[in-house]
Amino acid sequence: MATLRSLGYNVIIGKTALPRLSAFVSRNSFSSVVILCDENTLQYCLPLLITSCPELAGADIIEIESGEASKSLEICDHIWQTLAENNTDRNALLINLGGGVVSDLGGFCASVYKRGIKFINVPTSLLSMADASVGGKTGIDHHNIKNLVGTFAQPEAVFVDPAFLQTLPQRHIHNGMAEICKMALIADKKFWSELNSGNKKLDPEKLVTRSLELKNGIVLKDPSDKALRKTLNFGHTIAHALEMQSLLSGGGLLHGEAVFSGMIVESHIAWQKKLLSKTEMTEIVSGLKKEISASARALSFDNLISFMRHDKKNQDRKMLFSLPDAIGSCLCDIPVTELQVQKAFDFYNTLGL
């Protein structure tokens, strides 16, 4: 059990999270409470939420389809329309019950509906517990660009109960491990060694807590993404390109799956730029290559480079990456040429994944 203090709100992790959520709802007089979920969190997570917080039994429910494709303007339109039809006013509370898709989308919708209503995150996937639910980045994909439209908006609180993980499919546990590995690789060498030790019995609550401590430490130092916070994007320039390509072709690659591949490619770029030694690059690659998913075994430079040219970190048409300069340390705004990216893809494609 742990409580972290983030940007003006608490993140409560462990068995006490849902009782604390119940107390939070009871002591605030919201005009109404709306729960946003997808079909899976409606089926698997809503019952536990309502049992632990009986005051939520009468809440309005908005259900969206699960998956990245729901981070769209069309679904926002549906959410805003439903809120308006239900006469949801500015004193309402939105509860985002789900993975990173629900918290990114719900946080965004709440942050602009009637110029902003309060929201809280109740993450139910490993990825959202360990990363997406904290930090206040919200957003949707648009015009084939990942997270093109969004806001910085802080939740009132985040309630993390690892009990929700019991129904999370194994593929999504693996998916969440990508962001946990990333957090270790950019900020905590010892944590990386633990993750890389092959011990399959790591306690999910401990992993989530350490990952959130690391993320929160970074976010508190740089809330608006000016410098340090950009290091959280290690692996993501490549990952976002892969994700968008997959979304367009119906490939179904998950965010974390794309991040595993992205971290391998970007570690090679870091080695080309003499930030990582060959030994460190090899350690990262051999730790991560067993995690690569079947649909990302070969990468096409020609298909992916156009997505990367639109990355939000780019400036003056220069591609800027966040790259590790050691295991457990990361730099941001490193200019990378298309040739360096191509060489890293060539390396990746020879790994025989």
Q: How far apart are CA 278 and CA 267, in angstroms?
A: 10
Q: How far apart are CA 137 and CA 155, in angstroms?
A: 10
Among 175, 245, 267, 322, binds ligand NAD (CB under 6 A): 175
Does 155 interact with ligand NAD (rule: CB under 6 A)?
Answer: no
How does strand 2-5 pair with strand 10-13?
antiparallel
Among 71, 182, 268, 312, binds ligand NAD (CB under 6 A): 71
Does 6 interact with ligand NAD (rule: CB under 6 A)?
Answer: no
Taking each helix axis as running N to C, give the angle between helix 204-221 and helix 170-187, from 0 to 180 degrees, rounded to the nearest 10.
50
Q: Which stretch binds ligand NAD (CB under 6 A): 97-105, 112-120, 223-231, 306-314?
A: 97-105
Total binding residues toward ligand NAD, as defined by CB under 6 A: 31
Identify residue 196 by its one-letter amino acid code: N
Residue with Cβ nearer ligand NAD (245 or 272): 245
Residue with Cβ nearer ligand NAD (45 or 76): 45
Does 291 interact with ligand NAD (rule: CB under 6 A)?
Answer: no
Q: How far apart are CA 30 and CA 344, in angstroms?
A: 52
Does 44 interact with ligand NAD (rule: CB under 6 A)?
Answer: yes
Q: How far apart are CA 278 and CA 299, in angstroms?
A: 22
Cα torsion for 334, 338, 344, 346, to the nearest 10°?
A: 180
Residue with Cβ nearer ligand NAD (47 or 335): 47
**What is the distance in angstroms between the CA of the first residue and the CA of the last residue of the chain?**
38
Among 101, 299, 323, 334, binds ligand NAD (CB under 6 A): 101
**CA 204 → CA 140, 177, 190, 249, 323, distances in Å?**
28, 10, 17, 33, 27
Q: How far apart are CA 326 and CA 271, in angstroms?
A: 10
| Nearest distance from C-beta of residue 148 to ligand NAD, angstroms | 12
Among 13, 38, 75, 191, binds ligand NAD (CB under 6 A): 38
Does 119 interact with ligand NAD (rule: CB under 6 A)?
Answer: no
**Contact criterion met (CB below 8 Å) for 153 and 110:** yes
Does 167 interact with ligand NAD (rule: CB under 6 A)?
Answer: yes
Among 4, 24, 93, 104, binds ligand NAD (CB under 6 A): 104
Q: Which residues bind ligand NAD (CB under 6 A)?
A: 38, 40-41, 44-45, 66-68, 71, 98-102, 104, 124-125, 127-128, 131-132, 135, 137, 164, 167-168, 172, 175, 179, 254-255
